[in-house]
Amino acid sequence: MREKRKVLIITYYWPPSGGAGVQWWLKFAKYLPEFGIEPIILTVDPKYASYPQRDESLEKDIHSELKVFKTKSVEPLNVLSGLFGKKNVPYGGFTNVNKKSLFQVFLRFIRGNFFIPDARVGWNKYAYKKAKDLIAEFNIETVVTTSPPHSTQLVGLKLKKNLDIQWIADFRDPWTDIYYYKDLLHTNLAKRIDKKKEKEVLEKADKVLTVGNTLKNELQLKSERENIHILSNGFDENDFEGQIENKPEKFTITYTGTFSDHYNISTFIKVCKKLKEDGKDFIIRFVGNISEQKHLDFKNAGLEENLEIVGYVTHQKSIEYLYNSSALLLVIPEIEGNKSILTGKLFEYLAAGKPIIGIGPKDGDSAKIIQECEAGKCFDYNQEKELKEFLEKVIELNSKFQINKEALERFTRRNLTKELHYILS
């Protein structure tokens, strides 16, 4: 039997870390051996890592034969957590803290100006040393670095400079264009340093990989390069096997994941208030972290009794909540460059087969996929009349909804891995 070609994947986020970003290379590593590629994983030792969330249930996707190597790290976020408590250490667009407090302003300034590009840069020297050893031991010719954290890309940059390898830089999110970038309070000097690092990574990598067409175009403008490959996010069919659909007693709109102040749902709240005044009975469920301000916005609109805030749950439990919903809420932050945002939750929403209520740019990448899969509808932030009419229709139909399964099929993790193996060649 022909020996599988080995590819080193350097990723900070790996089980037991939780969150959507973990699943990107976890799922690829699961299916790559079917296409003649043996992935070798280099990640941070959980004892040293600063994960925003943990989800041990994701470890079920790690095959017993997969080689996973872990190194120590120096994590300032762990130091802050020890000094001030984890609840005071910001993460995920700062949804868990009051950004206006002087203490949080101070922390954001320190994070933005003393840890460039991010506060996990302390892993780099350990990751680089171990990567060199693994490349030599396993005769590896191709290395993938995936971000965020974008500091991981600097490991690939250093390996490329010093070794004869093919380096693929994988961007799951924007770097200096991420929606909460201005919240980091960079000085002009810090911004210049950060942008210089970003450009060097884009120019020196042999290939660049990203999740959508708009983000590809943005990255091309920063680097003037052409070989940027698109590989969409997706869903793993295995995660949805055996799920039992229980129709909720009340019409239930579910949102999963982090919900920060950058998510403009003022029109959605107005519509929900009017629906309640019209006698409609419904629940708005948040599975994950919601900012204090957004919670207050619902309360001030008289919708507190319509809210169900679940908090963070495991990935598998979040899928159960999707199945036990009447409709699913997707919100794209109202920021510059938001057309490129293709959140991982969208594809699990699609797989759950419930109507999607999208709020964001109607010509954005997410809206196009919702339309292509006939999975719901996306509305601009101020389309009150149209949104109300759609919600009334969805409530009336109450799950009598058919998604385009043929269009959905191309977003399975196995099919996406097939595309990936050509990019890795």
* pLDDT tens-place string over residues 36-53: 999 999 999 999 998 888
The half-sphere exposure of 218 on its side-chain side, counting CA atoms within 13 A, is 20
Q: How far apart are CA 154 and CA 162, in angstroms?
A: 12
**pLDDT score recorded for residue 160:** 98
For residue 158 the two structure tokens come to: 């250093």
Enter the pTM of the model.
0.86
Question: Domain boundaries in the chain?
Answer: 5-231, 237-408
Tokens encoding 298: 């619902």
C-alpha 143/C-alpha 6 separation (Å) is 9
Mean local confidence (pLDDT), 88-98? 50
CA-wise closest residue to 345 among 214, 259, 235? 235
pLDDT tens-place string over residues 176-204: 988 888 888 899 999 999 999 999 999 99
CA atoms of 194 and 247, how far apart (whole Å): 49
pLDDT over 80 (residue 166) = yes
185 within 8 A of 112, measured Cβ to Cβ: yes
What value does the mean pLDDT of the chain take? 90
Backbone angles phi, psi at 173, to 5 degrees: -140, 160
The more confidently predicted of residues 76 and 297 is 297
pLDDT of residue 85: 54
User: Does the domain made of 237-408 have the CATH classification 3.90.226.10?
Assistant: no
Instruction: Sort 331 into a burial class: Cβ within 10 Å, 0-12 / 13-18 / 19+.
Output: buried
Largest CA distance in the chain: 68
Reported as a pLDDT band with limits 50, 70 and 90, residue 339 is: confident
- Can you give the pLDDT at residue 397? 80
Contacts 24+ apart (CB under 8 A), 177-182: 177/218, 177/336, 177/337, 178/148, 179/93, 179/262, 179/333, 179/335, 179/337, 179/338, 179/341, 180/93, 180/94, 180/260, 180/262
Domains 5-231 and 237-408 share a fold: yes
- CATH number for 5-231 (one of 3.40.50.2000, 3.40.50.460, 3.40.50.300, 3.40.50.720): it is 3.40.50.2000
Q: Using alpha carbons only, what angle is made at residue 340 by residues 352 and 366, rounded to the nearest 5 degrees?
A: 25
For residue 82, name the pLDDT band (cuts at 50, 70, 90).
Answer: low
HEC secondary structure over the chain: CCCCEEEEEECCCCCCECCHHHHHHHHHHHHHHHHCEEEEEEEECCCCCCCCCECHHHHHHCCCCCEEEEECCCCHHHHHHHHHCHHHCCCHHHCCCCCCCHHHHHHHHHHHHHCCCCCCHHHHHHHHHHHHHHHHHHCCCEEEEEECCCHHHHHHHHHHHHCCCEEEEEECCCCCCCCCHHHHCCCHHHHHHHHHHHHHHHHHCCEEEECCHHHHHHHHHHHCCCCEEECCCCECHHHHCCCCCCCCCCEEEEEECCECCCCCCHHHHHHHHHHHHCCCCEEEEEECCECHHHHHHHHHCCCHHHEEECCCCCHHHHHHHHHCCCEEEEECCCCCCHHHCCCHHHHHHHHHCCCEEEECCCCCHHHHHHHHCCCEEEECCCCHHHHHHHHHHHHHHCCCCCCCHHHHHHHEHHHHHHHHHHHHC
CB neighbourhood size of 76 (10 A)? 17
For 44-53, 283-292, 330-339, which range has the lowest pLDDT when averaged over its residues? 330-339
Give residue 91's pLDDT band: very low, low, confident or very high (50, 70, 90): low
